[in-house]
Amino acid sequence: MSAIPRERLEKTLARVAREQGLDQERLRRWVSFLALCGVLERALQEGTLTRYYLKGGVAMELRFAGAARATKDLDLALEGDRDRRMAALTTALGRGFDDFTFRVKSQVRQMEIADTVRLQVAVQYRTRNWQTVEVDLGPAEAVEVDLVAPAIKGLVEMGLAVTSPVRCLGISEQVAQKLHACTAPALTGRARDVLDILLVEMLGKLDPAKVRAAAELIFARRGTHTFPPRSELPPMWAPELETLSKELGFPLVSASEIQQKFRSVLEMIATATAN
């Protein structure tokens, strides 16, 4: 594809965001995420990577676009220990994608408990700064990975290459991980996972039996609490739940409605039987 001048790309991004009714910075992040997906797919095809998949909020956005909450970081899983993952990602990023190039910044944080490396990747378009993306680089432990055609819009209208499909953590396993996170003893900052679970259910993408099977494995492996977990959400989450629900356009208005829906979905998962 012919290169787009950097200045024109900025103007095109602003125009497309306005025409599509998108937040301009969110569209910019989508460009960065898909460019990073492009370099990961290229590395996989060339043998630099043996496996990768996206997880967390970015995987939700790629699946459900504007229906999902916005995220600023990219959760990525690769095989190997932390040193091997860092080396593999650095090599992959060195190849670039389309007119995008990437550089790992020097600030790297080792998160030993989560077996994760947190780093910043500088994204450049035609050698000029485009954006910096925070990447959480974790281990590839997923049983199932889905090939996802990105649902996000705006990139084609901008004249950019769109990587499709991309590899995301299997949706049932992702829901199971979020269920573990939002019911675990350490509850700080996990209210968003409740809304993510309810979004998957409301969009008709929830397979209760598959989620239960995945959850039983995850809860047993992590050993922090048992499955099925408690269904009561902390009262302190009420303001965040109501704000996020309103931002996402959910039909659930109050924290009590969200609590009731979460309890219903959890019961449906806990009592599901294999097909």
Q: What is the pLDDT of residue 3?
A: 60
Lowest pLDDT segment from 151-160, 174-183, 207-216: 151-160
* Mean pLDDT, rounded, for 166-194: 91
For residue 60, is pLDDT > 70?
yes
Question: What is residue 189's predicted lDDT score, i.e. its pLDDT?
Answer: 75
Phi, psi (rounded to 5 degrees) for 232 = -80, 125
Residue 150: predicted pLDDT: 94
**Bridge partner list, 138:** 77
Q: Is 195 exposed, middle or buried (0-12, 13-18, 19+ CB in 10 A)?
A: buried
Residue recorded with tokens 């200045």:
7
Question: Is residue 213 a contact partner of residue 274, using CB atoms and an 8 Å limit?
Answer: yes
Instruction: Please report, rounded to a whole number, the percentage of residues in the chain having pLDDT higher than 90.
Output: 79
6 pLDDT exceeds 70? no
What is the per-residue pLDDT for 148? Answer: 96
| Strand-strand pairing, 73-78 and 128-139 | parallel
pLDDT for 131-176, tens place per residue?
999 999 999 988 899 999 999 888 888 888 889 999 999 999 999 9
What is the average pLDDT value for the chain, to the nearest integer? 92
Query: Does the structure show a pLDDT above 70 at 20?
Result: yes
Per-residue pLDDT at 1 exceeds 50: no
Query: In this predicted model, what pLDDT tens digit does every residue of 195-204 receive, in sequence order?
Result: 999 999 999 9
Average the pLDDT over 94-114 and give the result: 90
User: In 3-state terms, what secondary structure has residue 269?
Assistant: helix
Q: Which of 113, 134, 154 is nearest to 9 (CA)?
A: 154
pLDDT for the residue numbered 100: 94
Q: What is the pLDDT of residue 156?
A: 86
Q: pLDDT at position 185, please?
A: 86
List of long-range contacts for 246-253, beta carbons under 8 Å, 24+ apart: 247/69, 248/67, 248/68, 248/69, 248/195, 248/199, 249/67, 250/195, 250/198, 250/199, 250/202, 251/202, 252/198
pLDDT for residue 216 = 96
The predicted structure's pLDDT at residue 2: 45
**Residue 200 is inside which H or E element, if any?**
helix 191-202
For residue 160, the model assigns a pLDDT of 87
Residue type, 221: R
Q: What pLDDT score does 199 carry?
A: 96
**Quick one: pLDDT at residue 109?**
92
Q: Which pLDDT value is given to residue 153?
A: 86
pLDDT band at 187 (very low <50, low <70, confident <90, very high): low
Torsion region of 110: left, alpha or beta (phi above 0 gives left; psi -120 to 50 gives alpha): beta
The residue assigned the tokens 């370099």 is: 39
CA distance 271 to 228: 9
- In the chain, pLDDT over 70 holds for what percent of residues? 96
275 band by pLDDT with thresholds 50, 70 and 90: low
Q: How far apart are CA 131 and CA 268, in angstroms?
A: 42
Q: Are 107 and 119 in contact, with CB atoms under 8 Å apart?
A: yes
Task: Please check the confidence at residue 188 and state whether its pLDDT lies above 80.
Answer: no
Cα gap 259→168, rounded to integer Å: 28
